[in-house]
Amino acid sequence: MKKYTGYILFCLILFIIACGVLFNSRKVDNNSLEHVKVSEVAHTIFYAPQYVAIENGYFKEEGIDIELILSSGVDKMI
């Protein structure tokens, strides 16, 4: 009997967590976006996930407005 009670309790907790994750809808107002300037050294394939996230609006969903700039002459800083 204790075995089934523990199993049912585990399933209930898992169900509650899953509902919390699935129905978590946070709306972001465009006026309340935090502006962040991101400087990249070169346009390379290593930044591809960042480009995809910017284009698909993932940062705006989280309340961040990204301004992407290219900084040249970084090799002359040393």
Q: What is the pLDDT of residue 31?
A: 67
pLDDT in tens, the chain (78 residues): 667 888 888 888 988 888 777 776 565 555 678 899 988 887 788 889 999 999 999 998 888 999 988 887 666 655
Residue of 59, 57, 65 lying closest to 32 (CA atoms): 65
Q: What is the pLDDT of residue 62?
A: 86
Q: Domain residue spans in the chain?
A: 2-73
Say whether 35 sits in a helix, a strand or coil.
strand
The single residue listed with the structure tokens 């309790």 is 9
Q: What is the pLDDT of residue 19?
A: 78
